[in-house]
Structure 1
Amino acid sequence: MGLGMWGYPLVEVRETEKELMQSKTEAQSNDKPHLRSTKEVTGYDINALDGDIGKVEDFIIDDVTWKILYLVVETGNWFSGKKVIISPHWIKDVQWQEQKVTINHLIDEVKNSPEYDSSQPIDDSYQHTLNDYYKKIK
């Protein structure tokens, strides 16, 4: 084991730096416990008010403001693999421990919503169609 500048073992100095960085990270995460990375939330279950509808597959993020515009939901076996997008405004609750997101809509409402096609851009027309659909059902 080599010695550092003032004769302290380098391993000891590195361990102390590691502990300091870890405690800083923990303090920062405790400051805002509601924040999660998109990587962590990917795969969370998505539930409508009356049951399961799928899993979070991806996010659509504004590349200028970094605001999450939509969650991409893979409905898998629920709706024959149809993909839909959900606005964060439609989220009722997030249960972090259970890795579950509940939205303020019913299964049939999501099932009948406009399908999301990742090969097509989300233009104003699609956004209007989507928003009009969800306004109409409420």
Structure 2
Amino acid sequence: MELWDYHPDVYDRSKSLDLTGYHVQATDGKIGSVDEATYQVGESYVIVDTGPWIFGKKVLLPASVITKIDPQERDVYVSRTKEEIKNAPEFDEARYKEPEFRTRTGEYYGRFPKGPGTF
């Protein structure tokens, strides 16, 4: 499983789903809401607006950290704690689509052990 892909049992690419506005739940509580989501094979991610939790900052999460999507409750569950997400490379609005930024973010999330529900 690639870091920048959704798990096949979490998101079915044959169905249309817009995650914008969904609440994002870390393993230890809510961290914000989805500001933007992409669905390209090998390049998928969500940008989370953390609101007051981290003083209005945004974070970039690779699609593989998503463990569950609940369309009825409009929730996205991720396999990382609030602290792990807070310590991720700082989001850069001007550079987040550049390969260097994605590489740095991927290296950060890729270092975590793979446990149940993670890839």
Pair 1:121–1:100, CA change in 2 (3 A): closer
Correspondence for 1:36 = 16
Deviates more, 1:45-54 or 1:115-124: 115-124
Partner SS for 2:54: coil
Note the aligned Cα RMSD (angstroms).
Answer: 2.0
For 1:35-71, what per-residue CA distance to the aligned partner results, in whole angstroms no more than 9, with x for missing partners? 3332xx210000101111110001245xxxx446211
Contact 2:95 2:101 in 1 (8 A): no
Query: Structure 2: where are the runs of 5+ without partners?
Result: 1-11, 114-119
Correspondence 1:49 to 2:24: no
TM normalised by structure 1 equals: 0.64
Q: Deviations over 1:61-95 (max 9, x none)?
A: 5xxxx446211110011111111111111111111
Greater Cα radius of gyration, structure 1 or 2: 1
* 2:118 is the counterpart of 1:118: no
1:87 equivalent to 2:67? Answer: no
TM-score when normalising by structure 2: 0.73
Q: Unaligned 5+ residue runs, structure 1?
A: 1-31
Q: How many residues align?
A: 100
1:121–1:49 CA distance, 2 compared to 1 (3 A): closer
Amino acid at match of 2:32: G
Which segments of structure 1 move beyond 6 Å, counting only runs of 4 or more?
none
